Structure 1
């Protein structure tokens, strides 16, 4: 029960962390795009069109990439489980010895490891080997559709902020308002991601803010240069 609860908590934290990172990507990539276009033109229509196109392209690309990645992971996990199932059917004693060795390597005495391996094997041999040997929870394999949808939503939520910040104000205020809004949002993302990962908050925030500022600075300079030319 404890192992199952721990795995569930770990899974939820991974999903939450992935959501924060997806939103972070949406903020930075969309902000860089719309600020670059705003550097080239004051046309609200052009900026909005570019921002919406970037939002759609980025969110769909993230979703597709996540679907492919998680599908590959799921296929690998299923293949590993099938190999383990066949080995348990053909070499049960060798698998019992292997499970005993793995448990002993985790700090159990040899006798206690053997007893635990026998009890786990009697209860559910495949689940025991999946957890101890492969680090897989058979009933909780990642769903590629869930991963794709989560990435799409997270990226879209992040991208909406810079898009609104750049199109709502007047022409003279668009870039400053967007920069302030984006840096504020990146600060929040840095704090949340650091808390989830147990990392130092200042360092995570600094990386986030500097990366976003550099991205907007570069794209604005390029857009302004091309617009002037």
Structure 2
């Protein structure tokens, strides 16, 4: 059986990088919308710069920590599941190797190989590394590239923080009368960029993604500003 080509060998890592990039874009998008909604809502109640800065920083830290903790827990659970599946597969290979060889053959047949070719391929893969073969073909797991919860946590923390900084700076730096308009324009422009980027990474229609993104962000700012104005 031929060795994997360069493109095939790196397709998994490319997919992994695209997933992380997509997660980073979505994390930044969450940071933009949630922090913008918070600071615009507070701006509806008060024009005090210190209050706006305090609220924005609190929202940035709370949101980024929440995102990081959520990603860590989620990815840790996924990693534990992957390890458990690999441990079970290793035990089955030790206890019933013939049955596992037949299972691998059938899985390869389902992918379009003839019975004879599938059997030969299964035998060669088993001789080379049985656990790796079953992990990739049967479980869809790369034993050398298990998900890392710390990477996920840091990526979410940083992307949310970067996104949240935009509305925070936009609300505290301009003069009082310009704060809300500058923030709204800056946030909507940023949401166009993140919506377009997320659509591009997912090979989706960018116009719909941008409209959804901008519409959701605009609605969030309108609702929170109205609430702040009523309470203020």
TM-score by length of 2: 0.97
1:8 is the counterpart of 2:13: yes
Q: Does 1:186 align with 2:203?
A: no
Cα distance in structure 2, aligned partners of 1:224 and 1:83: 58
Aligned to 1:151: 156
Residue number among 204, 213, 219 corresponding to 2:218 in the alignment: 213
CA distance in 2, matches of 1:24, 1:108: 44
Deviation at 1:4, TM superposition (A): 3.3
Instruction: Give the one of 187, 200, 205 matched to 2:205.
Output: 200
After superposition, what is the alpha-carbon deviation per residue over 1:15-52, rounded to whole angstroms, capped at 9, x for unaligned?
00000000000000000000000000000000000000
Partner of 1:103: 108
Aligned residues, how many? 227
Which of 56, 60, 65 is residue 51 of structure 1 equivalent to? Answer: 56
Q: Report the aligned-residue RMSD.
A: 0.6
In structure 2, which of residues 217, 224, 228 is the aligned counterpart of residue 223 of structure 1? 228
Q: Give the distance between the partners of 1:4 and 1:195, measured in 2 at CA.
A: 24
Matches of 2:113 and 2:203, distance apart in 1: 29
Stretches of 4+ aligned residues off by more than 6 angstroms: none
Structure 1 equivalent of residue 76 of structure 2: 71
Structure 1 residues without counterparts, runs of 5 or longer: none
Partner SS for 1:138: coil
